């Protein structure tokens, strides 16, 4: 069954598939062709388990952090990492791009924000296990697709410096 986990005002939504346990970001208009059930994402993340998965206490804030990978987008170095805040109540994916002026950010999907560590996108708690599964398989293409490629070749949707069809290099897994 497909569950609508969350959506935003920018026409993007997170859906969860309980058969393959995937959770991905899609354009909201795709929901019209789907049978889905609305669901609230209130599950708390087990932070003790995250430490066994390689998450470390962040120096700059009260979060657990895991670096996923680094890669290049049109020649700019990018770092993708996860933060879990508030004792497991909030999960964020961060994209830090060296050499990009964050004043050039257009809009942020799924209630994302711009912070000191770059672009931050709120992630449904239920998506964390899926992200870690893709990380363990080193499946970069599926990781990019999970975020509708807005942290990859569709970066132009968020950052003015990029055009459609940005060239994304193979990642270095961290």
Whether pLDDT at 138 is above 90: yes
pLDDT of residue 41: 59
Of 13-22, 78-87, 127-136, least confident by mean pLDDT is 78-87
pLDDT of residue 116: 65
pLDDT band for position 128 (cuts 50, 70, 90): very high
pLDDT of residue 42: 56
Domain boundaries, the chain: 44-173
Phi and psi angles of residue 130, each rounded to the nearest 5 degrees, phi first: -65, -45
Phi and psi angles of residue 143, each rounded to the nearest 5 degrees, phi first: -65, -45
Rg (CA), the chain: 15
pTM comes to 0.89
Whether pLDDT at 55 is above 80: yes
């Amino acid at each position: 069954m497909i569950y609508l986990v969350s959506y935003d005002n920018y026409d993007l939504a997170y859906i969860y598939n309980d058969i393959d346990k995937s959770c991905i970001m899609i354009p909201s208009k795709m929901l019209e062709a789907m049978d889905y059930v609305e669901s609230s994402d209130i599950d708390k993340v087990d932070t003790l388990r995250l430490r066994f998965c390689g998450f470390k206490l962040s120096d700059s804030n009260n979060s657990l952090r895991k670096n996923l990978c680094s890669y290049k987008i049109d020649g700019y170095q990018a770092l993708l990492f996860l933060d879990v805040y508030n004792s497991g109540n909030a999960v964020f994916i961060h994209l830090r791009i060296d050499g990009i002026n964050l004043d050039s950010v257009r809009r942020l999907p799924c209630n994302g924000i711009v912070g000191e560590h770059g672009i931050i996108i709120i992630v449904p708690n239920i998506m964390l296990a899926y992200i870690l599964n893709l990380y363990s398989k080193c499946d970069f293409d599926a990781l990019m697709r999970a975020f509708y490629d807005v942290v990859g070749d569709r970066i132009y949707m968020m950052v003015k410096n990029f055009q459609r069809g940005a060239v994304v290099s193979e990642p270095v897994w961290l």
